Amino acid sequence: MIGEGDVVTCSQCRSRLTALLEGDLTPDEASPVRDHIASCASCREEYGLLQGTAQAVRDLEPLDLPAGFQRGLRRRLLEEAPVPWYRRVHWAIPASVSSAAVLILVLVLASALDLFAPTPDLMRMGTEHAQVADEPSPEDTFADTLVEDSPRLEIADQDRAVATRLSAVLEVPDVQPARRSLSRLVEDLGGEIHRSAEIPGGYHHLTITFSQNLTSSLLNGLGELGRLEYEELEGHDLHAEYREASDLVSLLEDMIEIERARQDPDGARLVRLAEEMDRALLRQERVESMLNQVLMELLLVNE
């Protein structure tokens, strides 16, 4: 170790020239090297050559992206872009309705995202159906609906079992008859009105659950009752969960195929992979189930 006041040899100096150039020496370490350079022509020349070498690279001028780079890149990116999840799970808002859309908000609730964390208390494998709370809340009923779709799952915290929320405003000629028509419509479609509250100003706030497969029918029905306004916002974290779950299943399929080909007599690794696959499939099924359910909040207002 060399420090301030030490005298360095040419060899010691040379081995530190790059560090000096890089500013990688402490002041105490740099001082004797600088002193040596000042008094030794040969080391001074070597240091100058290294400085010149670094400078030659630094002097290379920056280049602009070539003409057509962006256009070519975009074309190739568009060719690569995967099909969005909502196309793959047949998200069913009819184009005729969405083109007139103004105000539907599709919100992926933060609490719903918690469900996707593969924590043992949240999901566990089993054959029994969900345990229903003693006094089920409206959300519990919704959770039950989800569980019926995937009976191997148990939802530990049913208050959080809301996958997707859709908010809409329906302008109708008269709220009360529309309210009755709406009840019949939801019932016919197998949906359920969980909450109904009259809000000052003559508005009615309704919370409805229905399955994704019924979404388009319900929206069509609502469109016949009055003027429906909505727009769709995507919940991107949910998309990522769907993709990750699917990717994991694909990966495990490949790994199991490889493991089978190895014909390991012990087979312990294959068993572990099969268990992993069970969990992955369960998670994928769970995410799909969440995506296939919608909680709708509807505000009925007079025209």
Partner 1 sequence: MSLNERDLVLRARQGDVAAFEELIEDQQEKIYNLVYRMVGNQEDAMDLTQEALLKAFRSLKSFRFQAKFSTWLYRIATNLCLDEIRKARRRPLEHSLDQPVETEDGAIGRELPASWGNPEEHYERSESQRAVQEALLHLPPEQRLLLVLRDLQDCSYQDIADRMGWPLGTVKSGIYRARQALKQVLLECELIRPEDV
Q: Using CB under 8 A, list all residues that contact partner 1.
A: 18, 22, 24, 44-45, 47-54, 56-69, 72-74, 76-78, 80-85, 234, 236-237, 239-240, 243-244, 247
Cβ closest to partner 1, residue 100 vs residue 251: 251
Distance separating alpha carbons of residues 210 and 145, to the nearest angstrom: 9
Minimal distance, residue 194 CB to partner 1, in Å: 30
Minimal distance, residue 21 CB to partner 1, in Å: 8
- Write down the residue that tokens 């809301």 correspond to: 162
- Write down the residue that tokens 């240091």 correspond to: 47
Quick one: which H or E segment has residue 175? Answer: helix 175-188
Of 216, 197, 217, nearest to 206 by C-alpha is 197
Q: Residue 226, exposed/middle/buried by CB under 10 A (0-12, 13-18, 19+)?
A: buried
Distance separating alpha carbons of residues 120 and 123, to the nearest angstrom: 6
Q: How far is CA 43 from CA 10, 51, 119, 197, in A?
A: 7, 12, 63, 87
Residue pair 285/154 in contact (Cβ under 8 Å)? The answer is no
Minimal distance, residue 264 CB to partner 1, in Å: 28
Cβ closest to partner 1, residue 159 vs residue 237: 237
Q: For residue 212, what is the DSSP state?
A: H
Contacts of 298 (CB under 8 A, 6+ apart): 167, 168, 169, 170, 182, 205, 206, 207, 208, 222
Minimal distance, residue 113 CB to partner 1, in Å: 12
Cβ closest to partner 1, residue 67 vs residue 268: 67
Minimal distance, residue 136 CB to partner 1, in Å: 34
- Write down the residue that tokens 């054959």 correspond to: 127
Cβ closest to partner 1, residue 22 vs residue 198: 22
Q: Which amino acid is at 167?
A: S
Minimal distance, residue 234 CB to partner 1, in Å: 8
Minimal distance, residue 230 CB to partner 1, in Å: 21
Cβ closest to partner 1, residue 1 vs residue 268: 1
Distance separating alpha carbons of residues 296 and 74, to the nearest angstrom: 37
Cβ closest to partner 1, residue 57 vs residue 268: 57
Minimal distance, residue 268 CB to partner 1, in Å: 28
Contacts of 94 (CB under 8 A, 6+ apart): 216, 219, 220
